[in-house]
Amino acid sequence: MSDKPSAPATERNREAILEVLADELRDHTAVLEIGSGTGQHAVYFADHLRNLTWQTSDRKQNHVGIEAWIESANVANVRRPLELDVEAPPKLDASYDAVFSANTAHIMSMHAVECMFALVGQLLPAAGKFCLYGPFNRDGEFTSESNETFDASLRSQDPSMGIRNLEDLESLAETAGMQRSSLHAMPANNFIVVWRRADSL
């Protein structure tokens, strides 16, 4: 247990996220997760969403931790991590009909966020969905004081990080051929935004 990395936030937010994914992805079969982090979300969601194969991915430095969570979870439908940096993605197979990513858009540079949307737009088939969880600004405004404080702390560590405007993400999605199909307000001033291929709506 102690050799596995731990992100306590995943234990606080996973039930609310699961509820949304269970509905949004009820007819889907294969998810690619971008930026799996510790892998805690992956094993939890795979365990509770047996209709899905859950493919983890992240940059190489996170793979040992993700592997450790997968090994200890003993969940058949979660897959060992792919090495995936959205700024230099490998060739991915075309079998995914959903992409999930949590708490990545404010950690990635804006250029990386652009790359993520372009990648997802290329990858998803017509009925595919992109579910992105995290804090986002609305109309260029923070949705809470705690998000404003969090944003300042991110930018002081690295000016390329920061909470993104939902409108900017909408524009990236549109460029990538996707349109928003739902917006779920989540606990602690977060959202899950769901985009679908525009030609499927």
Ligand X SMILES: C[S@@+](CC[C@H](N)C(=O)[O-])C[C@H]1O[C@@H](n2cnc3c(N)ncnc32)[C@H](O)[C@@H]1O
Site membership for ligand X, residue 104 (CB under 6 A): yes
Site membership for ligand X, residue 59 (CB under 6 A): yes
Burial class (CB in 10 A: 0-12, 13-18, 19+), 55: buried
Binding-site member from 75, 110, 112, 198 for ligand X (CB under 6 A): 112
- What type of residue is 121? G
Nearer to ligand X by Cβ, of 10 and 53: the residue is: 10
Site membership for ligand X, residue 35 (CB under 6 A): yes
CA 155, CA 176: separation in Å to the nearest integer?
A: 27
* Piece in contact with ligand X (CB under 6 A), picked from 107-115, 152-160, 167-175, 188-196: 107-115
Site membership for ligand X, residue 114 (CB under 6 A): no
For residue 100, give Cα distances in angstroms to 123, 124, 141, 154.
12, 12, 25, 22
- How many of the chain's residues bind ligand X (CB under 6 A)? 20
Tokens of 114: 């652009």
- What type of residue is 198? A
Site membership for ligand X, residue 137 (CB under 6 A): no
Binding mask 139-168 for ligand X (x = CB under 6 A): ------------------------------
Least gap, CB of 18 to ligand X (angstroms): 13
- Positive or negative, the CA dihedral 66, 87, 194, 130 is negative
* Piece in contact with ligand X (CB under 6 A), picked from 58-66, 118-126, 153-161, 176-184: 58-66
Asked if 72 and 103 count as a contact pair (C-beta separation under 8 A), the reply is: no
Tokens of 145: 């004081």
Binding-site ranges for ligand X (CB under 6 A)? 7, 10, 34-37, 41, 58-59, 62, 84-87, 102-104, 107-108, 112
